[in-house]
Structure 1
Amino acid sequence: MKRSKGITGIAALIMGFSLVAGAPVAAAPTTTAKSQLTAATTKHTSLAKTLAAKQAAMREATKQLTLKQREATARANEAELAAPVTVAKRDAITSQQAAAARDEVAAQAASAKLKAQAAALQKTVKTLSAQVAATKQQVTTLQTKVTTAAAAARTTKVATKAKAATPAKSATVATGSLTGIGAAAAKYLGTPYRAGGASPAGFDCSGLVWYAAKQIGVSLPRTAGGMSTRGQAVSLSHLKAGDLLFWGGVGSAYHVAIYIGGGRYIHSPQPGQSVRIQSMGSYGPSFARRL
């Protein structure tokens, strides 16, 4: 009886093993990211179903073993607690005890077989757990890529085949509103983009405009959104050198550049690039302001 309880305990311990499935995947804005994310989610779901089936099989096997052990124990207890009987009935009791012994042997064999199956299932569960963890990590990575791609699409909107002009630093810059701001900014052509940068060590888009304006004695807000509320609106078809170009909305602009005439502007585009002169046709602004 002690051995049966031990076997039941082992089965119960094995039955306690469980896994937690991952959260649904956010929709991807790009075809490649969507495809990878869908594949990873499908694999994750399949592994979770397989694991659930293995665990159900283990529960059923444990249930059957427990029933057999209880039956064998009941028969053994009846034989031990039976009142004194006649010689005629003793043979019957002996036969019952022999049957109980055979059942015990069969139960032990079944227990050994179940242990082997449990060990194999446990190994399978560990393998599936590792695969589930890997797919969850893949899903997380794809979600990060999707989020990054969406943010990049919102902030840059760069044309697929845009060709940026890269004139020499000595290029002549026209003057107009904010006289001299274009020339002040042109001194820093080739300076690398730096998030939050507002010095010759590196500029972000509004940092370049803010710093160039400061060089000619003009005070501007530090952000593109703040700058977009200053001055007066001007049509993109009637621009003058020195006008500020914005992408986004008034008060919520996410990019700013300085118009220098001839359908061109100077700006600090994005990470990995540097201050440059670019044409309106390659990456056109949403609106313009004149200070």
Structure 2
Amino acid sequence: MTAQTHVPSLLSRTRAVSVLTLAAVGGTMLVPSAADEANAVPGHATKALRIAASKQGSPYQYGATGPYRFDCSGLTLYSYKRVGKRLPRTAQQQYNRTRHISPSHRRKGDLVFFHYGSNIYHVGIYAGRGKIWHSPKTGAVVRLERIWSRSVWYGRVN
């Protein structure tokens, strides 16, 4: 085996080490495979998740898109806008714009869409361990909460 065949497993184990550092040490420039990219957490999703979390305690207001008050889709729109990604205004429109993924492939930063039949009624940002950051309803604030329903779909912002 060559040094190149060991690098993908090394990359997956050493997320803190950059590809350029590994290439410099190994003396070979490598291009990550599609499988490696699929397993990597996209930077914009991680940043959007942090932005949503930073709004903890902000009050819910119907139609609000921040920076101090939010409704559910306003929080997701604001969080992704701050990292340079454009989303439409409503939860249904956001669902239509994202790449739909299975629950087994969800990652932190993906959007979680709550539905009744084919109608989307709520959206939050997946935080891992079955929890989302969201702005739930009038009288509530942005908070981290367990996903309370099995009627959810997942979408990834590209």
TM-score tier, shorter chain, comes to 0.5 to 0.7
- Secondary structure of the 2:59 match is coil
What is the match of residue 176 of structure 1?
41
Alpha carbon RMSD of aligned pairs, Å? 2.1
Q: Which has the higher helix share?
A: 1
Cα distance, 1:238 vs structure 2: 2.6
Structure with the greater alpha carbon radius of gyration: 1
State the identity as a percent: 38
- Secondary structure of the 2:55 match is coil
Q: Structure 1 segments of 4 or more deviating over 6 A?
A: none
What is the match of residue 152 of structure 2?
286
What is the match of residue 139 of structure 2?
272
What is the match of residue 82 of structure 1?
none
Which one of the candidate residues 49, 68, 80 is aligned to 1:201? 68
**Can you list the C-alpha shifts for 1:174-210, whole angstroms capped at 9, x where unaligned?**
x934231100111110001001111133100000000
**Can you list the C-alpha shifts for 1:201-230, whole angstroms capped at 9, x where unaligned?**
310000000011111111100110100012
CA distance in 2, matches of 1:248, 1:264: 17
Structure 1: gaps (5+ residues)? 1-174
Letter in 2 for 1:235: S
Q: 1:201/1:179 Cα in 2 relative to 1: closer, same or farther (>3 Å)? A: closer
CA distance in 2, matches of 1:191, 1:234: 29
**Can you list the C-alpha shifts for 1:219-277, whole angstroms capped at 9, x where unaligned?**
10011010001232211233101110001269841110000112211000001110000
Q: 1:260/1:176 Cα in 2 relative to 1: closer, same or farther (>3 Å)? A: farther
CA distance in 1, matches of 2:113, 2:127: 14
Alignment of 1:188 onto 2:86? no
TM-score by length of 2: 0.67
Letter in 2 for 1:228: Y
Cα distance, 1:285 vs structure 2: 4.7
Which one of the candidate residues 98, 101, 110 is aligned to 1:231? 98
TM-score by length of 1: 0.37
Q: How many residues align?
A: 116
Structure 2: gaps (5+ residues)? 1-39
Alignment of 1:254 onto 2:121? yes
Letter in 1 for 2:73: S
CA distance in 1, matches of 2:110, 2:89: 17
